[in-house]
């Protein structure tokens, strides 16, 4: 059940709704959108009917949820959202007017490798730095990331380059730690249905990049986003990264249609990960072009100064020549689709 507040509702109005719900044993999650505030209710929905929430000051509407997601739906929010990432002075938009290149090493290995990769990324037009400090690995014997030491490296490279940092968090208990370093929290494909983690990143006040589960339907992906939104955080960017099929020449099958389908169902921005979907370096540039052309709001790409020694996913990291082709695509194609490169849209 969701309480939609009127555009002129005051903070006190919202607080009163929350208080009444909590007094009845329920939980209330406040989501402040651009134009209005929404309060999501969890608990004894039948019982809430007797609270007369609709009659309270500032309440515009009380809606029973029939669709499986609501806060992230376009049905009640026709205008596409823009999510801003980074501190004042370096705020990078991801949304309908721009095209954002996010790039960096799959895994943070050393300060030098991370800085080199960040420089490569920046030269190609990237405005956000990606890099993993906590790596979810299928095998327990694989490199699991540097942990907090990796986060510190990312923060240092941010200081050096000015690039805000996107990095993955894999456990609810790490969210506060990761959020203390990162500008945007990434939830990976294996954790898309880790609901405790979704709720934790929804509560911490950082934008979230939510990767699609490798076997999740688009509807399930949006329900996962709803878990984040319900905690009051609507700064969510969806990331399509390929689904699992029978085809064996690529690591996953990039579901390029997911971009327009998600855009038709949700107001959230959608980016594409061409590196992990194909798992092959030679596919990254063509798939990046396809992502721009299909209408994605950005891409997130692996780069590495020396892919052959990479501890994780080296075979898909871009090298210099590819980066020039990528940079050209990121400059030329978005304007044809009515977007400007995000590099020109960073605000201060």
Q: Which stretch binds a second copy (CB under 8 A): 86-94, 175-183, 194-202, 309-317?
A: 194-202
Among the listed residues 168, 226, 273, 297, the single contact to a second copy using CB under 8 A: 226
Q: Which residues pair with 37 in a beta bridge?
A: 32
When the beta carbons of 158 and 212 are compared against a second copy, the nearer one is: 212
Query: Phi first, then psi: what are they for 202, rounded to 5°?
Result: -70, -15
Q: Which is nearer to a second copy, 66 or 89 (CB)?
A: 66
- Least Å distance, CB 185 to a second copy, is 15
269 in Cβ contact with 95 (< 8 Å): yes
Nearest to 272 by CA among 293, 241, 302: 241
**Residues in region 229-258 near a second copy by CB under 8 A:** 230, 243-250, 253-258
Binding-site string for a second copy from residue 252 to residue 291, where x marks contact by CB under 8 A and - marks none: -xxxxxxxxx--x------------xx---xx--xx-xxx
String of contacts with a second copy for each residue 291-310, x by CB under 8 A: xxxxx---------------
Residue 136: Cβ within 10 Å count: 16
Least distance in angstroms from the C-beta of 139 to a second copy? 4
Check if the beta carbon of residue 278 is closer than 8 Å to that of residue 287. yes
- Find all residues with CB under 8 Å of 254, minimum gap 6, and list them: 240, 241, 242, 272, 274, 277, 278, 287, 290
191 contributes a contact to a second copy by CB under 8 A: yes
Q: Nearer Cβ to a second copy, position 148 or 220?
A: 220
Interface positions, 7-66, toward a second copy (CB under 8 A): 40, 42, 65
Does 217 engage in binding with a second copy (CB under 8 A)?
yes
User: In the bound complex, what is the minimum distance in angstroms from residue 255's beta carbon to a second copy?
Assistant: 5
User: Which residues 110-139 are close enough to bind a second copy by CB under 8 A?
Assistant: 136-139
Distance CA 213, CA 220 (A): 9
Residue 262 parent element (H or E): helix 258-265
8 A C-beta contact, residue 224 and residue 191: no
* 92 within 8 A of 134, measured Cβ to Cβ: no
SS3 165: strand
Question: Taking the complex as a whole, how short is the minimal distance between the CB of residue 172 and a second copy, in angstroms?
Answer: 6
Rg of the chain on CA atoms, in Å:
20
Determine the interface stretch with a second copy among 105-113, 148-156, 223-231, 300-308 (rule: CB under 8 A).
223-231
**Strand-pair partners of 340:** 98
State which H helix or E strand residue 98 sits in: strand 98-104
What is the closest distance, in whole angstroms, from the C-beta atom of residue 164 to a second copy in the complex? 26
Give the relative orientation of helices 111-123 and 320-336 as an angle to the nearest 10 degrees: 40
Instruction: Give the shortest CB-316-to-a second copy separation in angstroms.
Output: 12
Residue 336 within binding range of a second copy, rule CB under 8 A: yes
Q: Which of 52, 180, 332, 347 binds a second copy (CB under 8 A)?
A: 332
Which one of residues 20, 91, 119, 190 is an interface residue with a second copy (CB under 8 A)? 190
Q: Which residues pair with 238 in a beta bridge?
A: 210, 270
Q: Give the number of residues in contact with a second copy, rule: CB under 8 A.
A: 72
């Amino acid at each position: 059940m969701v309480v939609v507040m009127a555009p002129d509702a005051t903070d006190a109005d919202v607080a009163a709704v929350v208080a009444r719900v909590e007094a009845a044993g329920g939980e209330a999650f406040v989501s402040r959108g651009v134009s209005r505030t929404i309060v999501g209710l969890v608990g004894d929905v039948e019982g809430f009917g007797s609270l007369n929430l609709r009659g309270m000051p500032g309440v515009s509407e009380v809606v029973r949820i029939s669709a499986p997601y609501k806060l992230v739906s376009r049905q009640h929010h026709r205008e596409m959202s823009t999510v801003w990432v980074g501190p004042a002075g370096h705020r990078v938009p991801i949304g309908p007017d721009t095209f954002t290149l996010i790039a960096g090493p799959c895994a943070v290995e050393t300060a030098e490798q991370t800085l080199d990769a960040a420089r490569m990324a920046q030269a190609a037009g990237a405005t956000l730095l990606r890099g993993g400090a906590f790596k979810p690995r299928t095998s327990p014997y694989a490199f699991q990331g540097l942990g907090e030491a990796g986060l510190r490296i990312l923060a240092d490279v941010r200081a050096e380059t000015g690039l805000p940092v996107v990095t993955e968090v894999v456990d609810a208990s790490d969210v506060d730690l990761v959020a203390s370093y990162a500008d945007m929290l990434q939830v990976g494909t294996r954790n898309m249905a880790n609901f405790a983690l979704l709720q934790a990143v929804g509560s911490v006040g950082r934008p979230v990049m939510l990767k699609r589960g490798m076997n999740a339907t688009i509807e399930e992906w949006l329900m996962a986003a709803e878990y984040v939104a319900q905690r009051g955080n609507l700064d969510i960017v969806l990331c399509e990264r390929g689904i699992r099929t029978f085809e064996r020449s690529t690591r996953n099958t990039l579901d390029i249609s997911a971009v327009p389908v998600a855009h038709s169902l949700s107001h959230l921005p959608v980016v594409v990960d061409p590196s992990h979907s194909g798992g092959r370096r030679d596919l990254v540039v063509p798939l990046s072009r396809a992502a721009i052309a299909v209408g994605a709001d950005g891409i997130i790409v692996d780069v590495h100064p020396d892919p052959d020694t990479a501890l994780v996913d080296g075979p898909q990291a871009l090298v210099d020549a590819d980066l020039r082709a990528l940079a050209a695509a990121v400059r030329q194609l978005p304007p044809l689709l009515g977007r400007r490169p995000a590099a020109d849209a960073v605000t201060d």
